[in-house]
Amino acid sequence: MGAPSGTDPASKGVYQAKQQDLGALAVPDTEESELARRLWPERSREGTSAFEYDRQRIVQARSFRRLAGKTQVFTSRDSDHFRSRLTHTIEVAQIAREVARALKLNEQLVEVLALVHDIGHPPFGHAGERALDRCLQAHGLRFDHNLHALRIVEHFENWYAAHRGLNLTLGVREGIVKHSRDYPESQHPELAPFFLGLRPPIEAQVIDLADEIAYLTADLDDGVESGLLEIDHLCTHISIMGRAYQEMQARHAGVDQKFLFHEALQWMQDELTADLIRNTTANVVENGLSSLDDVRIHSARVAVFSTNVEAMRLEEKRYLYNTLYTCPTLVAEHEKAETVVSTIFNFYMRSPDRLPSGYLQESEREGLPRMVADYIAGMTDSYILQQFWMASKLWRS
Ligand code: MG
């Protein structure tokens, strides 16, 4: 791999193609567009696209604001500099928009999908999600953050007089459902309105990879900040970081390691982003895709990394899993998080009258376990810890 074109100011201009210039593969946002339709028809303000409306509703939603209080990787906050779900979300949005602009996709739809992509995550990151899923399995149910995100935007964010939920466009709700996975219609007949037999538009496909780029960069940064990762070790074991670091040493001889590491992270992020742009373009051209319908019926997702970069992505992912996510410090944090989540789940199952009245009413229709899980999934890390101390006190008295 040569110098990344994404970091060279001259070639970076190549990606700064005309903004808002929707290519033939982009999702249209005209009122006639099927993906711009809403369950409850609404008239748009003049000059505001359907997806800009969606962005406004998501940014003003309480579940979006609560992302600030939810773990990305580190549950014990002994640094103010670790990513939260909110700052991770902002990083995903800026990467996704860069890709969308270069590919002439619908940049507004991409931004909305990035902003909403993690809204269904419970407190305490993946440990919280695993614990909630285990609690529900005991009742024959499952917890899935994509499906929970759909429940949030369709049912739990109730602030508008004329409709339930945020009344988001079909394109945004389809993107929420298809984030990082494809659900078989045989197992999820309730998701039939979201074209389960078809590929998502490229705008939705891009989000998954922008998410990968964001966390592959951020988790190394936060891992070093936490003292759990060492720069020399990770540069020896992650080939893309080894190359990035060498490149930065050659460019900035004699500067402190902290600057080289930061520059190397930026280099890697630019390289991954540029590869995604190049390879997606190549896939579109090689497969002769010339319309959104072509993308929909294509045999595979077209927004993917090249084979070479995909191998490096997997190598880094393995390293992060073995060296960071499963290290004793984080395993201990995850165990504590799982105890808190399962304790609060059992508490509300035994004392449903302590649930907020809306959840209690809904439990008659959807069953108590699902409503308890919905309530817990909306909590921030600090709120569920308060609940944990409250429950512990009540049980002791
Ligand atoms: Mg994410």
* Confidence at residue 106, expressed as pLDDT on a 0 to 100 scale: 95
Rounded mean pLDDT, 270-285: 94
Instruction: Flag whether 3 is in a domain.
Output: no
Tell me, in angstroms, the distance from the centre of ligand 1 to residue 256's CA.
Answer: 31
CA distance 177 to 54: 16
Mean pLDDT of 127-133: 96
pLDDT digits (tens, 9 = 90+) for 195-204: 998 999 999 9
Print the domain residue range for 69: 9-222+273-332
What local confidence, expressed as pLDDT, does residue 362 receive? 87
393 phi and psi angles, rounded to 5 deg = -65, -45
**What is the tens place of the pLDDT at every residue in 284-308?**
999 999 999 999 999 999 999 999 9
pLDDT per position as a tens digit, 250-273: 999 999 999 999 999 999 999 999
pLDDT at 380: 96
Q: Kindly state whether residue 66 falls inside one of the protein's structural domains.
A: yes
In which residue are the tokens 């007089």 written? Answer: 161
Q: Is the pLDDT of residue 347 over 70?
A: yes
Q: Is the pLDDT of residue 45 over 80?
A: no
Taking only the tens place, the pLDDT of each residue in 219-234 is 999 999 999 999 999 9
- Chain center to CA of 288: 30
Distance 70 CA to ligand 1 centre (A): 12
Q: Is residue 268 one of the residues assigned to a domain?
A: no
Query: What is the Å distance from ligand 1's center to 88 Cα?
Result: 7
Q: What is the pLDDT of residue 121?
A: 95
Total domains, the chain? 1
pLDDT at 73: 87
What band does 77 get if pLDDT is binned at 50, 70 and 90?
Answer: low
With bands split at pLDDT 50, 70 and 90, how would you rate the model's confidence at 346? very high
Alpha helices (H) along the chain: 9-15, 50-59, 62-65, 85-103, 107-116, 125-137, 145-151, 170-177, 202-226, 231-237, 239-251, 257-286, 292-297, 307-319, 328-350, 357-366, 368-377, 381-396
- Average pLDDT rounded to a whole number, residues 124-145: 95
In a domain, 281, yes or no: yes
Cβ-proximal residues to 56 (8 Å cutoff; 6+ apart), any chain = none
What local confidence, expressed as pLDDT, does residue 393 receive? 87
Residue 260 lies in a domain: no
Rounded to the nearest angstrom, the distance between the alpha carbon of 175 and the centre of ligand 1 is 13
Ligand 1 midpoint to CA 250 (Å)? 33
- For residue 157, being part of any structural domain is answered with yes
Q: How confident is the model at residue 249 (pLDDT cuts 50, 70, 90)?
A: very high
Question: pLDDT grade, residue 21 (50/70/90)?
Answer: very low
Give the environment of ion ligand 1: residues with CB less than 5 A. 118, 211
- Residue 381 falls inside a structural domain: no
Domain CATH for 52: 1.10.3210.10
Distance (angstroms) between ligand 1 centre and the Cα of 95 equals: 12
Ligand 1 centroid vs 117 CA: distance in angstroms?
A: 6
pLDDT the model gives residue 247: 95
Check residue 13 and give its pLDDT: 36
Distance 118 CA to ligand 1 centre (A): 5
Report pLDDT for 241. Answer: 97
Among 125-129, 182-186, 190-194, 211-215, top mean pLDDT goes to 211-215
DSSP string of 131-177? HHHHHHHTTT----HHHHHHHIIIII----SSSSTT---HHHHHHHH
Residue 182 has pLDDT above 60, yes or no: yes
Closest CA to 198 of 289, 271, 301: 301
Q: What is the pLDDT, as a whole number, of residue 139?
A: 97
3-state secondary structure of 84: strand
Mean pLDDT of the chain: 90
- Taking the centre of ligand 1 as the mean of its atom positions, its distance from the CA of residue 10, in whole angstroms, is 31
Between the CA of 96 and the centroid of ligand 1 the distance, in Å, is 12
The answer as to whether 244 is a domain residue is no
Spacing, Cα 47 to ligand 1 middle (Å): 31
Give residue 51 CA to ligand 1 midpoint distance, Å.
20
48 C-alpha to center of ligand 1: Å?
27
Q: Greater confidence, 76 or 153?
A: 153
Strand partners, 51: none
Over residues 330-345, the mean pLDDT reads 95
DSSP per-residue codes, 178-190: TSS----TTT-GG
- pLDDT tens readout for residues 235-248: 999 999 999 999 99
